[in-house]
Amino acid sequence: MKYADVIINNKTDSTDRFFTYGCERDDLRPGRKVYVPFGRGDKEREAYVFRVSDRPEEEMRSLKYITRIDEDVSLTEEIIETCMWMKKRYMCRYIDAVSLFIPAGDKSKRGKEARPYKDAAGEKQDISELTGEQQAALQKLGKAINGDGGLFLLHGVTGSGKTEVYMRAIAMCLEKGSNAVMLVPEISLTKQIIDRFIGRFGRDAIAVLHSRLTRRERYDEWMRIRNGEVKIVIGARSAVFAPFENIGIIVLDEEHESTYKSDMAPKYDTVEVAIKRLKQFGGTLVLGSATPSVATYQRSLDGIYERLELRERYNKNPLPEIETVDMRDELREGNTSIFSRKLVDELGRTLGEGRQAILFLNRRGYSTFVSCRNCGYVIKCPDCGISLTYHKDRGKGVCHYCGHEEEIPAVCPECGSRYIRYFGTGTERVDETVSSMFEGITAARLDMDVMKKKGRMTRILDDFGKGRIDVLTGTQVVAKGLDFRNVGLVGIISADVTLNIPDYRSPERCFQLITQAAGRSGRGEVRGRVIIQTYTPESYAVQCAAEHDYEGFFEKEVIVRKLLGYPPFGDLLQLVISGPAEEEVSACADMWRERLSDMLGPLGISAPQPMVTVPEKEGYKKYILIKCPKGRRMKYMEALEILKYEEKKKNAGAGKQKKCIAAVDVNPYSMGRS
């Protein structure tokens, strides 16, 4: 007779605890998926075993029994331990963590396996020799892989051959008998990586995990991984939860990307989860980027990560030539177009040479900011240094950090110009403009609207790779990791959109996106060109990006971060209070702020602010931003846990009446947005 502590697959706070059941089978172990009678009617429910013992921890008045065990789906003890760690780390429910590890979808009918990318031919690359920098990096990685593991930052300029280093390091792991996980920041990049990995390791060695697979494909890929049929998993951030039993290496390509931070519960950080899992196996973590996040680079300086440098492109071709165009001068000289004269000239020259161009515009889901096109002035919070977000309903600019708000001026406070307005141009307009300027060319755009149509993104990228498209206009997806040899020009339509998002990371994001977008140019034999259009050419983020100067940017950026206590010199915790009634949410948020001020002191705890763009079905939401000094995250999270427990008890006492729910996001990438 065994006693099992299980978690019921029921996503409510009231059942987020262990329930003990009896089991007649002696082979029961943690991780098994089981079915149990639950609730008043003893309806059969899915559950997951977390602990097994020979006797219950407490005396039980009555005992219910596990009715059956799923013989196909089971989790490892390492996964169960990681779920318990995630609950504490991210203040999520047990079942929310478990759900990340279990297969979505259903078993294939009639035994027919659903295989994504089954028709991929693979891409053979004839790379017999490595550069001295690549060899040095692999030597250090090999020592860790064949030893006790390690944490590495592979800092390599665009086109320096980071992917080849990844593949050779993974080959070392496979020779040792371990498994590998290869992560990319965008699903759009998986096709290119998959082709290269199939060319190197073969199709049968690889499984794919990401959200765009069908439910059947996801289930079957999960089962192939769990049954030990594959050695490598490739995917977006969710692939970090691959159910391997022995992970030797996890690689995060473009580690700086915000997509590695989940924006849905549980709001996990992929790097933190990867490190936690690898500790269990003595595995190796490789974070690769041409533009590492400030936090990652600081950790390499602190000795947490060992930094490996690739400073030259693999083909020895110089980095692209970058020119900055001041759009204020263009306006003064009568050019009101979204294209500078320099960009138009370079586009004409590039197309005339038979080469391709990429036009980059970052319009991915950020709030509108207010800018002067005459002098470049942007309205910012006087306390936080963050650009104010325009709220149409209030007619004001609002700081999403401290709640400061002010009227939007009719004229620019800096220069008196009336060219002050809400900033923004869409990819569709850019695409139409370039098509009308150059007759006989083929232009296409790649943004979220296009990517919603299944298969459309792959077709566009394939056509661009084969030279059927002359000019590709896109958002962030065209700036990340794509490798096209015939791109001679990259035009960045407005660096200011990235520079003025309402986030303390906006200079970092601006520098990264300019550098990454520029890196798509000149990857063949001819040096590439980049035109940056901006209203603030004096920004250190723009200047350092134009000079390919990561270290210079980092040195300037950390001064600001240290001064204001932003990560990595502290943590930001966003506490979100939600509920069906506006008055109740406001009262609850005020109570949380008051209690947190009593427990932690009022310094660094903002007044509750309404969330932006909350869907009507989600009711009302307010958030409190908490600045947590470095080294005190555990204390702050404990305080939040105590208050959440108190709220849970209060809700339980309220019976069926709906009350407020609290959720925490550690170092969020989007402040005040639902």
Of 545, 576, 530, give the one whose Cα is nearest residue 400.
576
Mean pLDDT of the chain: 88
Out of 106-115, 227-236, 505-514, the most confident range is 227-236
Q: How far apart are CA 647 and CA 223, in angstroms?
A: 39
Q: What confidence tens digit (pLDDT) does each residue in 560-616 have?
A: 999 989 999 999 999 999 988 889 999 999 999 999 999 999 889 999 988 876 566
Q: Which residues on neighbouring strands pair with residue 206, listed in sequence order?
A: 232
**Number of domains the chain is built from:** 4
Q: What confidence tens digit (pLDDT) does each residue in 507-565 have?
A: 999 999 889 888 888 888 888 999 999 989 999 999 999 999 999 999 999 999 999 89
Q: Indicate if 447 and 520 belong to the same structural domain.
A: yes
Q: Indicate if 195 and 268 belong to the same structural domain.
A: yes
Q: How far apart are CA 572 and CA 591, in angstroms?
A: 20
The CATH number linked to 437 is: 3.40.50.300
DSSP string, 276-320: HHHHHHT-EEEEEESS--HHHHHHHHTTSSEEEEE-S-TT-PPPP
Q: Indicate if 484 and 446 belong to the same structural domain.
A: yes
Grouping H, G, I as helix, E, B as strand and the rest as coil, residue 482 is coil
**Single pTM value for the model:** 0.87
Residue 223 — very low, low, confident or very high, per pLDDT cuts 50/70/90?
Answer: very high
Residue 423 — very low, low, confident or very high, per pLDDT cuts 50/70/90?
Answer: low
Q: Indicate if 430 and 528 belong to the same structural domain.
A: yes
Q: Does residue 152 surpass a pLDDT of 70?
A: yes
Q: Examine residue 401 and state whether it is found in any structural domain, yes or no.
A: no
Q: Examine residue 417 and state whether it is found in any structural domain, yes or no.
A: no
Residue 109 — very low, low, confident or very high, per pLDDT cuts 50/70/90?
Answer: low
Q: Indicate if 300 and 256 belong to the same structural domain.
A: yes
Q: Examine residue 116 and state whether it is found in any structural domain, yes or no.
A: no
Q: What pLDDT sits at residue 124?
A: 79
Domain end (from 310, 332, 348): 310
Residue with tokens 């980049």: 530
Q: Examine residue 376 and state whether it is found in any structural domain, yes or no.
A: no
- The arithmetic mean of pLDDT across residues 233-262, rounded, is 95
Q: Does residue 366 surpass a pLDDT of 60?
A: no
Q: Indicate if 544 and 579 belong to the same structural domain.
A: no
Q: What pLDDT sits at residue 108?
A: 62
Q: Indicate if 195 and 238 belong to the same structural domain.
A: yes
Q: What pLDDT sits at residue 671?
A: 72
Domain end (from 560, 592, 622): 560
Q: How far apart are CA 166 and CA 372, in angstroms?
A: 45
Residue 16 — very low, low, confident or very high, per pLDDT cuts 50/70/90?
Answer: very high
Q: Examine residue 115 and state whether it is found in any structural domain, yes or no.
A: no
Q: Examine residue 64 and state whether it is found in any structural domain, yes or no.
A: yes
Q: What pLDDT sits at residue 458?
A: 81
The CATH number linked to 616 is: 3.30.70.260
Q: Examine residue 69 and state whether it is found in any structural domain, yes or no.
A: yes
Grouping H, G, I as helix, E, B as strand and the rest as coil, residue 66 is coil
Out of 244-253, 394-403, 616-625, the most confident range is 244-253
Q: Indicate if 339 and 279 belong to the same structural domain.
A: no
Q: Indicate if 303 and 354 belong to the same structural domain.
A: no
**Which of 64-78, 93-107, 602-616 has the least mean pLDDT?**
602-616
Q: What pLDDT sits at residue 453?
A: 72
**Which of 200-204, 386-390, 568-572 has the least mean pLDDT?**
386-390
Q: Which range marks the domain in which residue 160 is found?
A: 132-310
Q: Indicate if 434 and 515 belong to the same structural domain.
A: yes
The CATH number linked to 64 is: 3.40.1440.60
Other beta carbons within 10 angstroms of residue 346's beta carbon come to 20
Q: How far apart are CA 370 and CA 562, in angstroms?
A: 27
Q: Examine residue 470 and state whether it is found in any structural domain, yes or no.
A: yes
In the chain, the amino acid numbered 387 is: S
Domain end (from 505, 539, 560): 560
Q: Indicate if 362 and 291 belong to the same structural domain.
A: no
Q: Indicate if 228 and 282 belong to the same structural domain.
A: yes
Q: How far apart are CA 130 and CA 599, in angstroms?
A: 56
